[in-house]
Amino acid sequence: MQTDAKLIEHLESLSKIELTREEREFVTDDLRQILGYIGKLSQLDTDGVEPSARFALPQELRSDDAKGGMGSREILKNAPAQKDGYFTVLKTLG
């Protein structure tokens, strides 16, 4: 695996993060090391290992009974931007 500039750029795009130049150097270096390190997991023979079966049954699930929500005022308290009871962001679609 090559941790070249293109990969970092791709990961930045997937992560919606833009690194500074120093950060990029650091992360590139770090990623190279970490990937080399975790790559050794391939040496562990896990053939025939089945995932454990912890599961829920239908009757343990939530019943379809409504509870009041939080009220838009409470919900919007933490909103970075809002208008008329709506959250707002800059226009999304062109």
Partner 1 sequence: MKYETVIGLEIHAQLSAKTKIFCSCKTDFGAPANTQVCPVCLGLPGALPVLNRKVLEYAVKTGLALGCEITQLTSFDRKNYFYPDLPKSYQISQLFLPICRNGSVEIETENGKKRIGISEIHMEEDAGKLIHSEEENLTYIDFNRCGVALLEIVSQPDFTSADEVTAYIEKLCRILKYIDVCDCKMQEGSLRADINLSVRPEGQKELGTRTEMKNLNSLREIRRAINYEANRQAELIESGKKVIRRTLRWDDGKGQSIPMRDKEDAADYKYFPEPDLPPVFVSKEYIDGIRSQIPELPDSRTERYVNELGLSEYDARLLSESVHISDFYEKVINGCGEYKEAANWITGELMRLMKLNSVPDENIPVSPESLVEIINMLKAGEINRTVAKAAFEESFINKAKPREYVEKNNLKLFTDTEKIRLVLTKVISENEKSVSDYKSGKSSAFGYITGQAMKALNSKAPVKEVQKILKQLLG
Partner 2 sequence: MKEIHEMTAVEISEKIKCGELGAEECAAVFLDRAEKYDGVLNCFTYIDRETVLKRAAEVQKGVKSGRYSGRLAGAVVAVKDNICVKDMPASCGSKILKNFTAPYNATVINRLEDEGVIVLGKTNTDEFAMGSTTETSYFGPTLNPWDLSRVPGGSSGGSAACVSAGLAPLALGTDTGGSIRQPCSFCGVSGLKPTYSAVSRFGLIAYASSFDQIGPIAKNIDDCAALYSVICGKDFSDSTSSYVNFDYGRAVTPDVRGKKIGVLTDFSGGKIDAGVKSAVLKSAEIFEELGAEVEEISMPCLEYCVPAYYILACAQASSNLARYDAVKFGFRAENCKSADELYIKSRSEGFGIEAKRRIMLGNFLLSAGYYETYYKKALKAREYIKNEFLRIFENFDLIITPVAPSTAPKLGASLKRPLEMYLADAYTAAVNLASLPACSCPCGFDPNNLPIGFQLIGKPFAEEEIIGAAKAFEEAAHFYKNPPVTNLSGGGSQ
Q: Could you give the C-alpha distances from 34 to 14, 27, 37, 76, in angstroms and in order?
A: 19, 10, 5, 40
- Would you tell me how many other CB atoms lie within 10 Å of the CB of residue 7? 13
Choosing among partner 1, partner 2, none, which partner's interface includes residue 31 (Cβ < 5 to 8 Å by kind)?
Answer: partner 2
Instruction: Give min distance, CB of 48 to partner 2, in A.
Output: 9
Residue 46 binding partner 2, by CB under 8 A: yes
Helix axis angle, 5-15 to 21-38, nearest 10°: 100
By CB under 8 A, name the binding residues for partner 2: 7-8, 10-12, 14-19, 23, 26-27, 30-31, 33-35, 37-44, 46, 49-52, 56, 62, 70, 74-75, 77-81, 87, 89-92
